[in-house]
Structure 1
C-alpha cells in the first residue's frame, strides 16, 4: 500500500504543513452530496505524505466525531499509475482548541502514521470526504504559490479529474497537507 509502517525512512525532519488556502467561508458551508474533493500534488522532492488539514464543521460550535473517507493514487513521471488504494475510513475526533483561525485542524492518518512514500517526480493524487453535514471551505486556492509555506517551490498543485469527480485547485475542503522529507 506504499504506507510506511517502520521508522526506516525517517531522518529526524520535523513534520511540515503545506497550506493551500489563505481564507475560508462559512456561509452555507460545503456539502458533498456523495462526491469527494481531491487534489493532485506533483512532488519535486521525496516525501512521506503524513496527513491533511480538515475544515471543521460549520453547523456547530462544539466538535463532534466524524468519519474521514479517503483514497490515493501514485502516478510516475510518465503519467503511468503506480498504485491506487481502496477507500480507507478513519474515525476522527477533534477538540475546539485543535482548530486554527482559518477553521481547520491538522490530522495525521491513523492507517499510515509514518506516512505514504512519494518519490521525487511522482504525482500524489488524493481524494477525501467527511461525514460532517457542512464544513467550512475555501475558494482562494489559485493563490497557493503566494502563501509563505516553509518549503516553497517543491510542490505543484493541479486540478483533480477522475471519473465524475472534478475538483479544482481554486476551491475545496482540503486546506493543506502534512508531509516529511525522507
Structure 2
C-alpha cells in the first residue's frame, strides 16, 4: 500500500489546477502531459494573439476524447439524398480546415450530368447511412422485425451482427433477401441496386439441408476400431472454396447403443467449438452424425481440423468398438455432390490411428459460401 501511495503521489497533479471537462479534475496521471486551461480549435491556434496559449501548439494542447464523426462526403464515394431518395457519387470536393464540405461536384448514381452544391442547407440533404428494417423468420415461423442503421460502406455482417444477437437470432444462421434476391453478408448498401431509406430485408433462419462430403468408399465390418478416450482421433479437411462448416460424423458402436464423445473443431489454428456429448441413434447402422452448435466460416484453403475422444465412459476410459472407414486414399474418386471440393490430410492431433486411409470422421457437413 505504501508503494502505491508513493506512486500515486509521484504522478498526480495538484487539485488546484483546472483541467478540461473530459478529464478527472482531481488529478492528471501523467506529468509529462501539459494541461490546457481550455480546448482550442485549429483556427484559434493559428492566431498569434490568441490569449493564454503561451507555448502550447496544436501538437501538445489536449483535444477532446470524443471520437470525431466520419465525414459524410468523400471523393469517389456515394451519398444518399434523404429528400429525393436518390444516390449520388461525389466527383470532386473542397473542405474547410475542419474538413466540413464547402463545395462538391456530384452526379446521380446512374446519371451523366454533374451538379454543384455549396450551401450548408444543400449538404444537409445528404447522409451516409440508411434506416433498414429486417423481418427475421425463425424456426417455427416465428417472425420479428428489427431496425438497423448501417453506413453506406459498412458490411452487413458487421452492421447486423449486434442487432441480430439482441433479437435472439444468429446472423450466421440466416439467409438475407432483398426484393427476392439473395444478399451476401459481405456486401454493403452501396452494392444493392434500388435500395432506399426505410426498405425491408428478409432474413430466414436456417440454410435448409446442408451438403455432405463422404471420404470413405467402404466401411470396415470385419473388425472393430478400438476407442478408450486415452488418445484422440483426428483428420483435416481443406476446402478449395469458401464454405460454412455445420457438422461431422463419427462411426457408430458395433455392439453398443451409445458412447461418450468429446470433440473439438479447429479452423486455421483457432478452436471454434468443443463439447462432450452422448452419441446414440446410429444412422444407416454405421454413422453417428453430429450437428454443431454454431455454423463456422472456413475460407478457401483453410484447415478444418476435427478431433475426437471416444469411450464407453470417458471418465473411466472404458473401451468401445466402433465401425471404421477404409480405403480413404481414394476419396477424390468417391461420388459426392461437390467433387474436388476438399483436400484431406492428417490433422487434429490424431494418435489413435485415424488417417487419410482409415478411421473416423467419414463425413463433413457444410454450406457453400
Q: Is the 8 A contact 2:227 2:322 kept in 1?
A: no
The structure richer in strand per residue is 1
Indicate which of 283, 289, 292 corresponds to 1:99. 283
Change in CA separation of 1:99 and 1:166 when aligned onto 2, cut-off 3 Å = closer
> Which structure is higher in RCO with an 8 Å CA cutoff and minimum separation 6?
1
User: For residues 29-68 of structure 1, what are the structure 2 equivalents within 5 Å?
Assistant: 29-33=224-228, 34-60=230-256, 63-64=257-258, 66-68=259-261
TM-score for both structures, normalised by structure 2: 0.40
Q: Residue 139 of structure 1: CA displacement?
A: 1.9
Distance 1:28 1:50 in 2: 30
Contact 1:159/1:166 (CA < 8 Å) preserved in 2? no
| Paired residues of 1:160 and 1:167 also in contact (CA < 8 A) | no
Give the corresponding residue for 2:12: none
Give the corresponding residue for 2:137: none
Query: SS where residue 160 of structure 1 aligns?
Result: coil
- For residues 99 and 169 of structure 1, do their structure 2 counterparts lie closer, same or farther at Cα, with a shift above 3 Å needed? same
Number of the residue aligned with 1:126:
306
Deviations 1:143-181 (A, max 9, x none): 111111011111100122738566420011211111112
d(CA) in 2 for partners of 1:23, 1:169: 13
Tell me, in whole angstroms, the C-alpha distance in 2 between the residues paired with 1:164 and 1:105: 21
CA distance in 1, matches of 2:172, 2:243: 13
Structure 2's unaligned 5+ residue stretches are: 1-168, 176-206, 313-319
Q: Any idea what the Cα deviations from partners look like across 1:6-46, whole Å, max 9, x if unmatched? A: 14354446301100112112333111242111111111222
Task: Report how far residue 47 of structure 1 moved.
Answer: 1.5
The Cα RMSD (Å) is 2.5
Equivalent in the alignment of 1:154:
341
Aligned 8 A contact 2:280 2:288 in 1: no
SS in 1 for 2:218: coil
Corresponding residue for residue 355 of structure 2 = 168
Residue number in structure 2 paired with 1:21: 216
Judged with a 3 Å threshold, the aligned counterparts in structure 2 of structure 1 residues 161 and 174 are, in CA distance, closer, same or farther, namely closer
Q: TM-score, normalised by structure 1?
A: 0.76
| Partner residue in 1 for 2:365 | 178
Bigger mean CA deviation after superposition, 83-92 or 12-21: 83-92
More helix by share: 2
Rg larger in 1 or in 2? Answer: 2
- 1:123 Cα deviation after fit: 1.0
